[in-house]
Structure 1
Amino acid sequence: MRFARALLPLALLVACSSEPRPRPPGVLFVSVEQQSAWVRNFNPLFAGAGARWPTRAGVYECMEIFSSAQGRWVPWLATGHTWSEDQLTLRFNVRDGVRWSDGKPFTADDVVFTFGLLKQHPALDAGGVWRFLTDVKAEAQGTVAFSFSRVYLPGFSDLAHQIIVPQHVWKDVADPVTFTNPEPVATGPFTQVTLFRNQVYELGRNPHYWQPGKPAVSALRFLAFPTNDQANMALVEGEVDWAGNFVPAVDRTFVSRNPAHHARWFPLYGSTVFLYPNTTRPPLDDVRVRKALSMALDRDRLVEVAMYGYTRPADATALNDAYTGWKDAEVAKDAWTHYDLDAANKLLDEAGLTRGADGMRRLKDGQPFALDLEVVSGWSDWVRAGQVVGRDLRKLGIGVTLKTYEFGTWFTRLQKGEFQLAISWSLDGPTPYNFYKWLLSPRTVRPVGEVAAANWHRMGDAQADELLMRFERAGTPEEQHALMSQVQQRFSATAPAIPLFPNPSWGESNSSRFTGFPTEQNPYARLAPHAEPDSLLVLTQLSPRER
C-alpha cells in the first residue's frame, strides 16, 4: 500500500495529461528518454546534438545492422557487401527501390555524399572513419566502394552502421553540425513529425517506406517524463507500451500486474557502466589513485542497493556478458576491482596523498582532496549508485559531492571533459575492439572542451593501441582472441576508467495493444529501445493487436 500511495500523485499526473482518451488506435507510446521538456532536434550525424529518439534508428537508417542478440549482420539499406582480396576495398550493394520520405529515390550517391560530409566536417565523424578511408565512390549498378588506407577489418562496422542522409536536402544545409533538422527527410519507418510540443511529440509513418506493409504501427508518441519515477508510473499504469526504464522490483510492480501482457527482459548486454575519472585533472592522472578509488568500492553492495540485484559487479576486464567468449579469466581476477580498503589506503599513501588531522586526504599542495561526482538527475539507479560511491570514497578520506544535472547538461559536460568524476556508459560493438578502443586508444583522445564521442576520461595507452592496430589486421579468430587478451591485460594495468557493473539491457513491453516484441525466447533483437540500431528491427516488427 505504501508503494501505491507514493505513486498516486504520479498516477493523477498521467491521468491529467493532454493525452486524449480513448487512445488513438495504432499509436505506440514509448518511454526512452527522461526529459522535462522536448527539444525539436532530429540531427542524426552530430554526436553532441542530443537528437530525439529514434532519430538514429527509426527516422534514419544504416546499411547493415548487427544484432548482438542473434550474433549476425542483417542487411538493411544495403543488400550485402564484399571485400577485395587484399582487404583494402569494401563494397556495399545499395538496395534498389528505396525512397526518401519526400518520395525522391535513395541512391548510392546519397551514401557517397554522407561520407563526404563526415570528411568535410570532422565533428560529424565521431567514429573517425576518415582515419582509415582514402576514398568513397559510387560504381555501376548501385555499388559504393570504400577504399582503405590500410587493412582495418573493424572498419566494416563503422561503415555499415553509419546513418545515411539525403544529398538533395543536406547539400543546402549551411552548418550540418548545428542543424537541428526539424522536418527530417529520411528512409526510416517513422519520419513524419505530426506533433511537437514541450511535453509531447509524435512521429508518423514514412509514406514511402521501402518494406512493404511496414511499419504496421501508425505512429510513435512520447510524453515528457523528467524522472524515472514518473516514467515508471506511466508504464505500470498501462500508459506506455514499450520502455527502456530502470524499474525497482520490476516483477512485483510491473510484470505481476498483468502477467499475460507485461514483460521485461534485462540481459547483461548493456554497455558496462563506469566511474569515469577525468585524467586531465591531477591526481586522477595517477594509476595508483584510480586503482585506489576502485578498491574502495564495495561493488556487491553497490549492485544490490543501486541496481536491485539486476546485475553483477564488474571484474578487471570490464566486459559485459555479450563478450563472455572473449574474456581472459586470469585478467578478470586482478585485484584492483575487488573491495580492499586497506590496499586502497596504501596506494593513496604511496601517491603522496596523506591524511590530515581531520582524517581527510590532502593533495601535494596541501589542499583537501575533494571531488565532484556527476550523474543525471532523475536517473534514480545512477543517483543511488553515486550516493554509494560517494560514501565509499569518503572512507578513504576523500571529500565527494554528488551533483545532478538534467541529461543534456550532464552529457555536454561529459563529452567536453568538464567534470572530475562521472558515472556513464561505454561503447560496444560486434567484438570488444570498439569497447577497448574508446577506453584506451590515444587516437580517440580529444582536448578538453572539444566534444568526444567517448573516451570522456581522455586517456590513451600506446601499448594497448599497438595491440588494437594488430587486431585490425588479424585474420583468424585465434589471433584475434590472443591479441584481445593482451589488450585486457593493458586495460587492467592502466585502469583508465573504473568499471562498476555491466548495465542490464533494460527493456519492458506491454503487449495489450501491440504484438511482436522481442523476448528471451524470440531474441531477434534486444528489447531495450536504447539498443540502437536494434530498435529498427523492433519498430518494423511490431503490429497492433487485433481486437
Structure 2
Amino acid sequence: MQRRLVVMCMGLVSLGGLAGCSKSKQQEGSTPAATATAPAAAKATAVTIAQEAQTSWIRNFNPLLASSSSRWPTRAGIYEPMLIFNVLKADYVPWLAEKYTWGEGNKTLTFSLRPGVKWSDGQAFTAKDVAFTFELLKKHKALDLSSVWAFLEGVQAKDDATVEFTFSRVFVPGLLYIAQQPIVPEHKWKDVADPVSYKNENPVATGPFTEIKVFQNQVWEIGRNPNYWQQGKPYVQSLRFPAYPGNDQANLALLNGEVDYAGNFVPDIERLYVSKDKENNHYWFPLVGNTVILYANTTKKPFDDVRVRKAISMAIDREQIVKVAMYNYTRPSDATGLSDTHNSWRNPKAVESGDWVKFDAAKAGALLDEAGYKRGDDGIRVGPDKKPLRYDVNVVTGWSDWVRAAQIIAQNLKQVGIDATLKTYDFSPWFERIQKGEFDLSMGWSSEEPNPYYVYRDFLGTETVQPVGTVAARNWHRFGHKDADALLKAFEATSDPAEQKKISDQLQVLFVENAPVIPLFPGPSWGEYSTRRFTGFPNQDNPYAKLTPNAPPENLLVLTEIKPKQ
C-alpha cells in the first residue's frame, strides 16, 4: 500500500476547481500560499520524507502487519526481506539471501543466506530467524498476509546459513511471497505474547535504519543501524517524518523545499513544483504502479450480481476522471485491470470483449433494468425488496485525487439512478473497513507484483476470500471463482513462459466475464525529490529502481543509495 500522500486543494481550485475538497479539522481555515523561493539549504543530516498522511504518529514498528498498519519504512528500511524484486529490471536482487535454488520438482525452495549479517543489537542473523518468522505466520493467521501457509508444508533451518521451504504443492509464484517477507529476530520475538497486536516500539532489525532518535506526535526520526551489513551504508544519518494530516500541509512542505523525498500526487507538477526550482525539483511518474480500483462488496446485494457491477462500471466516465482528477498523468483502464507493469501479458481479445469499461449511461441503465432494479418516482432505483439503491463511496480524507475521482463516480451513478454519496475517512478507519469487508463501494488499489497471476489471485481466487469482519490483506471485495482456482493452480505448477502466458490469457477472459472489481485507471508510480541537500535518487535517466517510496520492499534500493549532496 502502501499508498501515497496526495494533492493540494489549492492546486485543484486554481486549475478548474474542486467542489467540496475534503479537509480534516486541522486543515480548516486559510492556508498560506507557497513561497516562490525555497529557503537556503540546511546541513544535510536527515532526509525529510512525506509518505504517510497522519494527523499524529502512532509508534508501531511491527513488520508482520500490512504496510499501512505500521510506520513507513518498517517493512523495507527497518526490517528486510531475503530478496527484492526490482520491477523495472524484472529480476530479483539478492538481499539477506545471496541465492535461491528449487529442488524436488519445484517442491522445495532453498535460500543461502548472506554471511556476516547482524541484527542492530549486534547478535548474528541466522537461518533460525527466517524459520522462526515463517512459523509465526503459521501460528497467527492474521500475519500471513500472502497466505503462504496455503502452499507451504514446512520450513527448516538446515544450518546457520541455509533455510529450506517444503511445499505442499508445486507453487512457483510462492517465491515472491517468501522472498519478500520481512524477517524478525527470534531472540526478540519468541516471548511476544500476541505478535498481531504487538507494536514493537523499539525495533531490533537488520535494515539500514533502526535507531529511533525522536518519536513525538508530530514528528519522528530514525537513525542509522550501527551494525548494518552493507559497509558504509546508509550514506545519510537519519530519516525524518513530520506528520502531515492532509494534502495542503504535505504539498506546501514539498513546494517550500522542506521535504526531500515524497510519494505525492501533485496537480500540474511542472508549474507548481518543478518551476519553483528547476535545478533541484524533480519527479518521475511511470505507469508501473498498481491499478486504481472501485471495489464493490460482493457479499452484499446488489453487488453480488455481475450485471450490476458491469452497469456501475459503464456509468463511470473514466475520461473525465483522468482529465479532472488525475491531470492526465494516466489513462482509463481497460477491462483486464492490468497496469503497464504487465503490458507484455495483456490479452487483446480480453481487452476487446471488455466493453463494460466504456462510458455508456444508456447501456448501464438497461443492465440495471434487466437485473430488476427499476427507477422509483424519485428517480432512485429500487430492488425487488423495495429498498433504494443508496450507497456510500468510501475514500481517504486528504487523498484528493481519489476524492475528486470518487466525487465524479458518485455524480455518474446518480445519473443512472444509484444514489451514491462520497464518504471520507481518515486512513486508519478507511483501511480497517476495506480490509474487513465493511463497506458498500470503496476506492482502493490492486497488486503491483511481477505478473498477472498475483493480480488475479487477489481478484478471483477463493483462497484469498475471508469472511466479512475478518481482516483480508487481499481480495477486499470477497469474490472467488472455482474456474479461476483451476487456472491459478495450473500457473503455479509451470515455469514455462509460453504456458504461463496461455493461462494468463484465460484468467483475463474470466476476469472480463465476471467483473469482480471495477478498474478505473493504471496508477502512476508517484515520486518527487529535491537535490538541494541529497542526491542518488532514481529517475528516467537512471532507472535503477522505482523512485516512489510507496512500493516496499523496492524502496530499500533507494534508501541505501541516497547521499548527502557534496
For normalisation by structure 1, the TM-score amounts to 0.96
Q: Which amino acid aligns with 2:414?
A: R
Does 2:261 correspond to 1:245?
no
CA distance in 2, matches of 1:216, 1:11: 35
Q: Report the equivalent of 1:178.
A: 197
Cα deviations by residue, 1:11-53 (Å, 9 ceiling, x for unpaired): 5899xxxxx9984532100000111111110111022871000
Q: Per the alignment, do residues 81 and 151 of structure 1 end up closer, same or farther by CA in structure 2, a change over 3 Å counting?
A: same
Structure 2: gaps (5+ residues): 1-9, 15-26
Q: Which amino acid aligns with 2:246?
A: T
The aligned runs of 1:432-451 (5 Å cut-off) are 432-451=452-471
CA distance in 2, matches of 1:443, 1:41: 29
- SS of the equivalent of 1:403 reads strand
Would you say the 8 A contact 2:341–2:448 is kept in 1? no
Work out which of the residue numbers 79, 93, 99 in structure 2 matches 1:60: 79
Cα deviations by residue, 1:175-215 (Å, 9 ceiling, x for unpaired): 00000000000000011111011110001000000000000
CA distance in 1, matches of 2:414, 2:13: 35
Cα deviations by residue, 1:143-180 (Å, 9 ceiling, x for unpaired): 10101111110000010001100000000111000000
Does 2:161 correspond to 1:157?
no
Cα deviations by residue, 1:279-336 (Å, 9 ceiling, x for unpaired): 1110110000000000001111111111111100000111100100000012112201
Does 2:441 correspond to 1:425?
no
Would you say the 8 A contact 1:11–1:237 is kept in 2? no
Cα deviations by residue, 1:75-102 (Å, 9 ceiling, x for unpaired): 0000010111411111000111000011
Displacement of 1:525? 0.8
Q: Which amino acid aligns with 1:58?
A: G
Q: Which amino acid aligns with 2:140?
A: H
Work out which of the residue numbers 224, 233, 252 in structure 2 matches 1:233: 252
CA distance in 1, matches of 2:564, 2:279: 16
Q: Report the equivalent of 1:382.
A: 402
Equivalent residues, number: 541
CA distance in 1, matches of 2:13, 2:522: 33
RMSD: 2.0
Does 2:35 correspond to 1:41?
no
Would you say the 8 A contact 2:44–2:565 is kept in 1? no
Identity of aligned residues (%): 53
Q: Which has the higher contact order (CA 8 A, sep 6+)?
A: 2
Cα deviations by residue, 1:506-531 (Å, 9 ceiling, x for unpaired): 00010111110000111111111001
Q: Report the equivalent of 1:215.
A: 234
Work out which of the residue numbers 533, 549, 553 in structure 2 matches 1:529: 549
Q: Report the equivalent of 2:509.
A: 489
CA distance in 2, matches of 1:222, 1:121: 31
Structure 1: gaps (5+ residues): 15-19
Q: Report the equivalent of 2:378.
A: 358
CA distance in 1, matches of 2:377, 2:13: 47
CA distance in 2, matches of 1:358, 1:182: 54
- SS of the equivalent of 2:163 reads strand
Q: Report the equivalent of 2:166.
A: 147
Q: Per the alignment, do residues 77 and 449 of structure 1 end up closer, same or farther by CA in structure 2, a change over 3 Å counting?
A: same
Cα deviations by residue, 1:461-487 (Å, 9 ceiling, x for unpaired): 111111011000122111000000000
Work out which of the residue numbers 313, 335, 340 in structure 2 matches 1:294: 313
CA distance in 2, matches of 1:33, 1:49: 8
The aligned runs of 1:288-327 (5 Å cut-off) are 288-327=307-346
Q: Report the equivalent of 1:126.
A: 145
Q: Report the equivalent of 1:279.
A: 298
- SS of the equivalent of 1:276 reads strand
Would you say the 8 A contact 2:460–2:481 is kept in 1? yes
CA distance in 2, matches of 1:48, 1:425: 13
CA distance in 1, matches of 2:320, 2:168: 48
Displacement of 1:255? 1.0
Does 2:532 correspond to 1:507?
no
Does 2:407 correspond to 1:407?
no
Q: Which amino acid aligns with 1:388?
A: I
Would you say the 8 A contact 1:49–1:178 is kept in 2? no
Q: Per the alignment, do residues 396 and 4 of structure 1 end up closer, same or farther by CA in structure 2, a change over 3 Å counting?
A: closer
Q: Report the equivalent of 1:90.
A: 109
Q: Which amino acid aligns with 1:318?
A: G
Displacement of 1:5? 12
Q: Per the alignment, do residues 382 and 328 of structure 1 end up closer, same or farther by CA in structure 2, a change over 3 Å counting?
A: same
Q: Which amino acid aligns with 2:337?
A: A
CA distance in 1, matches of 2:558, 2:68: 24
The aligned runs of 1:108-119 (5 Å cut-off) are 108-119=127-138
CA distance in 2, matches of 1:108, 1:495: 43
Would you say the 8 A contact 2:126–2:160 is kept in 1? no
Work out which of the residue numbers 489, 506, 526 in structure 2 matches 1:469: 489
Work out which of the residue numbers 225, 236, 245 in structure 2 matches 1:206: 225
CA distance in 1, matches of 2:424, 2:379: 27
Would you say the 8 A contact 2:253–2:259 is kept in 1? yes
CA distance in 1, matches of 2:42, 2:468: 47
CA distance in 1, matches of 2:538, 2:461: 35
Would you say the 8 A contact 1:189–1:540 is kept in 2? yes
Comparing 155-164 with 359-368, greater Cα deviation is found at 359-368
Would you say the 8 A contact 1:48–1:451 is kept in 2? no
Work out which of the residue numbers 45, 55, 79 in structure 2 matches 1:26: 45
Comparing 20-29 with 469-478, greater Cα deviation is found at 20-29
